Structure 1
Amino acid sequence: MRKTVIAQDAPPSVRLVRIDPEEAGQRIDNFLLRLCKGVPKSHIYKAIRNGEVRVNKGRIAADYRIEAGDAVRIPPIRLPRSDAPRRVPPAAFPVVYEDDAMLVIDKPAGVAVHGGSGVSFGVIEQLRAARPHEPFLELAHRLDRETSGLLILAKRRKALTALHDMMREGGGRKHYQALVVGDWVNDRQHIRLPLLKWLTASGERRVKVDAQGKPAHTIITLQKRYGRYSLLGAELRTGRTHQIRVHLAAGGHPIVGDDKYGSDEVRAHFARLGLERMFLHACRLELSHPLTGEPLCLTAPLPPACLKILDYLEQHP
């Protein structure tokens, strides 16, 4: 994204950046994290707390939302050189829908949506590397690394804000397919269990059902039984971390291949059959276009590895 620099000395130095209308509305911490790629989050937040980051010569909090015309003072924190060689390999992903406001891709399993937590880069960084001409490209939501399927990215700030508002207010429908352990009984079932994030002793993020957690609602529909396994449809009515995975595991039906909430024995069994991933796929999105309001229904078929497993289960009940 091109910036209007009002003043800049030889690095490292104070920079003063003018905010344009397309950037307005985002939080100052998110703006800085995107602008100062490679700088640790802790450095950004420390600079804000210490008053080194200023907007229109005044101190601000991390949740301040920048406005068009704001002059942002950026202290001489460590920044990557603009002429440094590109470290993120560009990548193209199957495009399901694209216009000047948004991009929807079919993300493969095993690819993180963004860098962090031991992952140096993800889909968003690779797409930015592959599309240097795009002035704006941001994730509108998330998918777990081992989940495949439909992922929305915004190409305009206005579209991103509208998509966030839509999802927060439950205005869209996100549908998934999951193969789970066990014989699922009900044709249609609403799961309403509160979910709470927690950390393991090793610092790994997990989620559990807990009365102190946030409300979470998943609608499950039975698609097909395969004896000891069942193919389910899952519709998210809230968007909590690991929601489908934890809701299904809590009922005794963990997703096949889930390395956090499932069985090691089941995962090993399906790996021998060629499924070296979690069987969870974001298959359908129903939403209104964030700018025009046009109704959209986007789909992504199950990946070949998942279809192969279903064929195997069909032949080996």
Structure 2
Amino acid sequence: MNDENLENTPLETHEAQGDTSADTAEDFMTFTITNEDREKYKRLDQYLTESAEGYSRTFLKNLFLKDQICVSDDSPNPDLKIELKKMPAAGTIINILVPPMLPSTALPEDIPLEILFEDEHLVVVNKQAGLVTHPAPGNYTGTLVNAVLFHCHDIQGVGDQKRPGIVHRLDKGTSGIMVIAKTQAAHEGLVLLFSTHDIERFYEALVMRNRCQSYGTIEHPIARDPSNRLKMKAFTSRGKRAVTNYKVLDVFEKHVHMEFKLETGRTHQIRVHTADVLKMPIICDYAYGSPNEQFMKLGPDYKELINGYQYPFLHAKVLGFIHPITNARMRFEVPPPEIFQKVLAYSKLKNDALNDL
């Protein structure tokens, strides 16, 4: 599965959140090196770690040592010998062969969970940024599933054995609200709600500034990026229907604070729509933006404040749905992570100071 970073995407395909797996077979990932990549990265392992979201540098190094990272036969120079410490020429096509998911089921792990609600049927949590939703190659442990199994001892076998209780996902780097089923009946009911989009979902993000209306709707199909299968791309004539409603909440000198309401839940939907369609990538989104360029525009004060934070400033703040068993209307709202709030507060103070000049 790949995050990385699906925006609350229902379990309808094997494409999720930066923790990609083919589940039953080896999976190919393909990347084409561009001149922009060569300017941005000095080493191939740095490029692959950020491009192949969800896979650690150690995991990728092990694949390289096993000859599972190689130059494609379709590359202009298929006999090129690549090195992890050196970027190959532009146009080079890199193939990564990812081994299949381990057949074993996930194991409980004592990982802290912020629980917003729980009954005998389901549990609602506030997922922290950096936590992968479920086990997959490169992330067999330390996931939300492992944490939930420790907390809820009886959900093993609910839904998919590798992803017990999971009915939707958030990207690894996206924080916010998720609901997990504790019973098979709740699982089936929640999957139906997500598949028919009978879910209330609001997100907020800090986004680089560009010209756009104060509110609007983005309706652009999304499909897998042909040059990088771990990324998505907005297309005009192909892909799955994707609709994102947006509203600008605050306008700052170089960036904006935005709210999003999803009508569909495609992989990386908000991140793709902001970056590809609005040309306004989310701050610190390494897949769809260039944080180094962003910090040059924002200034050294923002770079110091953010201080190496590695995840997009994207937060799933509202989740509302009808309880699949009790039919009670459920609605949860949580504020963004502390670093998000600090940057937002600083931006407002700076804005006020500029307005007072």
Normalising by structure 2, report the TM-score: 0.62
Q: Which residue of 1 aligns with 2:67?
A: none
Q: 1:235 aligns with which of 261, 279, 303?
A: 261
Distance 2:207 2:320 in 1: 24
Q: Which residue of 1 aligns with 2:248?
A: 222
Q: 2:234 aligns with which of 186, 197, 209?
A: 209
Contact persistence 2:215–2:247 (CA under 8 A): yes
1:196 equivalent to 2:223? Answer yes
Query: 1:198-222 deviations in whole A, cap 9, x for unaligned?
Result: 3546xx5110012211110001011
Which amino acid letter does the alignment assign opposite residue 230 of structure 2? R
Distance 2:24 2:258 in 1: 39
TM-aligned CA distance change 1:309 to 1:42, over 3 Å: same
Which structure 1 segments of 5+ residues have no match? 1-25, 31-38, 44-77
1:274 offset after TM fit, Å?
2.4
Contact persistence 1:183–1:225 (CA under 8 A): no
TM-aligned CA distance change 1:167 to 1:147, over 3 Å: same
1:279 offset after TM fit, Å?
0.4
CA RMSD of aligned residues (A): 2.7
Alignment of 1:161-180 (within 5 A): 161-180=188-207
Distance 2:188 2:122 in 1: 12
Q: Which residue of 2 aligns with 1:92?
A: 112
Which amino acid letter does the alignment assign opposite residue 41 of structure 1? T
1:120 equivalent to 2:140? Answer yes
SS in 2 for 1:315: helix
Q: Which residue of 1 aligns with 2:320?
A: 286
1:272 equivalent to 2:276? Answer no
SS in 2 for 1:142: strand
1:228 offset after TM fit, Å?
1.4
1:132 equivalent to 2:159? Answer no
1:129 offset after TM fit, Å?
3.2
1:253 offset after TM fit, Å?
0.8
Contact persistence 2:113–2:147 (CA under 8 A): no
Query: 1:110-147 deviations in whole A, cap 9, x for unaligned?
Result: 11101214222310122213433445441110000000
Which amino acid letter does the alignment assign opposite residue 224 of structure 1? D
Distance 2:224 2:231 in 1: 6
1:191 offset after TM fit, Å?
0.5
Contact persistence 1:256–1:266 (CA under 8 A): no
Contact persistence 2:248–2:257 (CA under 8 A): yes
Distance 1:120 1:271 in 2: 32
Percent identity for Structure 1 against Structure 2: 26
Distance 1:254 1:105 in 2: 27
Which structure 2 segments of 5+ residues have no match? 1-10, 15-21, 27-101, 159-163, 352-357
Contact persistence 1:183–1:227 (CA under 8 A): no
Distance 1:212 1:132 in 2: 43
Which amino acid letter does the alignment assign opposite residue 107 of structure 1? K
Distance 2:174 2:221 in 1: 22
* Larger radius of gyration between Structure 1 and Structure 2: 1
Normalising by structure 1, report the TM-score: 0.69
Moved more, 86-95 or 283-292: 86-95
Q: Which residue of 1 aligns with 2:270?
A: 244
TM-aligned CA distance change 1:184 to 1:304, over 3 Å: farther
Distance 2:332 2:23 in 1: 36
Distance 1:108 1:252 in 2: 27
Query: What is the total number of aligned residue pairs between the two structures?
Result: 242
1:188 offset after TM fit, Å?
2.0
Q: Which residue of 1 aligns with 2:183?
A: 156
TM-aligned CA distance change 1:186 to 1:124, over 3 Å: same
SS in 2 for 1:260: coil
Distance 2:148 2:255 in 1: 36
Which amino acid letter does the alignment assign opposite residue 130 of structure 2? G
